[in-house]
Amino acid sequence: MHLLFVHQNFPGQYRHLAAHFARNREHSVAAIGEARSLTSWEDETRAIRCFPYTMPPLAPSPVHRYLRGSEIAAQRAKQVRDVAITLKRQGFIPDIICAHAGWGEALLLKDVFPDSPILGFFEFYFRTGADIGFDPAFPEREIDAHRMRVKNSVILKSFAQCDWGVTPTNWQYVQFPQCCRERISIIFDGIDTNMLIPNSQIRMRVNETRLTRANEVITFVNRNLEPYRGFHIFMRCLPRLLRERPQAHVVIIGADGIGYGPPPQLGKTWREVMLAEVGDALDPSRVHFLGRVPYSKFVALMQLSSVHVYLTYRFVLSWSMVEAMSCGCIIVGSATAPVMEVIEDKENGLLVDFFDDDGVVDALNRVLDHPNRMQAMRIAARRTSVERYDLATVCLPRHAELIHRIAARHHPS
């Protein structure tokens, strides 16, 4: 079977899926992605043919500001189409195309490969009251609703080109209109629970401090430190937490970029903003900002963690939360969708109100005051990750079976 994966940040959600098919020499696997992501990615299978595209700079344009996103999506679609034409000239005709549908990359692929079915990855359908307007600190503006509708128009146009779709969680699924849900399967991306295991012997140096499981270690992980993932709430917890836990260390992983919401004013980062607000009350020898770290170090920190904090707007679910559970972490998570789809309060984690910083600290104290009594919760957290989100036994087989089924509909043997 010939498979084509399309993702601006390839491999993205296709890391394991593309490698799975590439390891089988009966399949031929190609990928199209933006050049900046492909140049930083190493194909462990050495069998995926990667074809980059480069986005041209946006020229000054009279296009309406609400339509700027559509213009970018159209440009991205054209770049992907041009690369796809090159693939076709080389004789590569995919039996199935797997494409992230959120950025417009799939919009023109049917014009190049009219007989190739497209399985779209539908990550999120924007709605007021989900992420937009969720946080009173950032009231919804009229322009937000307009931009949301334009973003969704790109998603819906992409959906029209797709034969089927995939989304990771039930909550993400129900955000889509009913007419879309009839052609969307719910399949989580999957995590490697055989590698993400508890390790009671873990020890590591964090900055100048050596830490083991005997220490109180509170972890917090974002790709980017920003309000969408509760960074502002967590930072406001720290003055009280550090007063009440004089031996505790807080380890924060995340870059200073912007992934989802608006940037702060005056050219600052959210880390700078929050340190200006609460930094005088923090002990820098016990609050460790590590930026982005190699994946192996992230895993080690999850194995080291006494308790892991995961806060999020009503938005897409981060892999890191389920990965932390697989490592046996106790999660103090926000009582928001889709976190509540994974964590059952007091069974495999603790749920708190997203905006209740005192509630977060109270939950952390409960865990740290009674580490032995929390062992059952750690075991339940890992059991959840293994039984529902394991890559090899649950998610990858379901995803691969769907790919074979859709390809067979169009190319019956």
How is the chain split into domains, by residue range? Answer: 2-189+391-410, 203-389
Q: What is the pLDDT of residue 129?
A: 81
What is d(CA 369, CA 245) in angstroms, rounded to the nearest whole number? 10
Q: What is the pLDDT of residue 45?
A: 76
Q: Are 292 and 250 in contact (CB under 8 A)?
A: no
Q: What is the pLDDT of residue 371?
A: 84
Q: What is the pLDDT of residue 108?
A: 97
Question: For the range 173-181, what are the long-range contacts, defined as Cβ-Cβ under 8 Å and sequence gap of 24 or more?
Answer: 175/124, 175/125, 175/126, 175/127, 175/130, 176/122, 176/125, 177/125, 180/122, 180/125, 180/156
State the amino acid at position 217 in one-letter form.
V
Q: Do domains 2-189+391-410 and 203-389 have the same CATH topology?
A: yes
Reported as type and span, the H/E element at residue 109 is helix 109-112
For residue 288, the Cα-to-chain-centroid distance in whole angstroms is 23
Which residue's entry shows tokens 């296009």?
63
203-389, CATH topology level: Rossmann fold (3.40.50)
Q: What is the pLDDT of residue 300?
A: 97
264: preceding bond cis by omega (within 30 degrees): no
Tens digits of residue pLDDT in 387-405: 999 999 999 999 999 999 9
CATH of domain 2-189+391-410: 3.40.50.2000
Residues with Cβ < 8 Å from 4, sequence gap 6 or more?
29, 30, 31, 32, 84, 87, 92, 94, 96, 97, 98, 113, 116
Q: What is the pLDDT of residue 69?
A: 80
Q: How many CB atoms lie within 10 A of CB 268?
A: 14
State the amino acid at position 408 in one-letter form.
A
Q: Going residue by residue through the chain, which has 413 residues, state the pLDDT in tens, using 9 for 90 and above.
A: 999 999 999 999 999 999 999 999 899 999 999 998 887 777 777 899 999 999 988 777 667 777 778 888 999 999 999 999 999 999 999 999 999 999 999 999 999 999 999 999 999 999 888 888 899 988 877 777 777 888 899 999 999 999 999 999 999 999 999 999 999 999 999 999 999 999 999 999 999 899 999 999 999 999 999 999 999 999 999 999 999 999 999 999 999 998 888 889 888 999 999 999 999 999 999 999 999 999 999 999 999 999 999 999 999 999 999 999 999 999 999 999 999 999 999 999 999 999 999 999 999 999 999 988 899 999 999 999 999 999 999 999 999 999 999 999 876 55
What is d(CA 123, CA 219) in angstroms, rounded to the nearest whole number? 26
What is d(CA 335, CA 350) in angstroms, rounded to the nearest whole number? 9
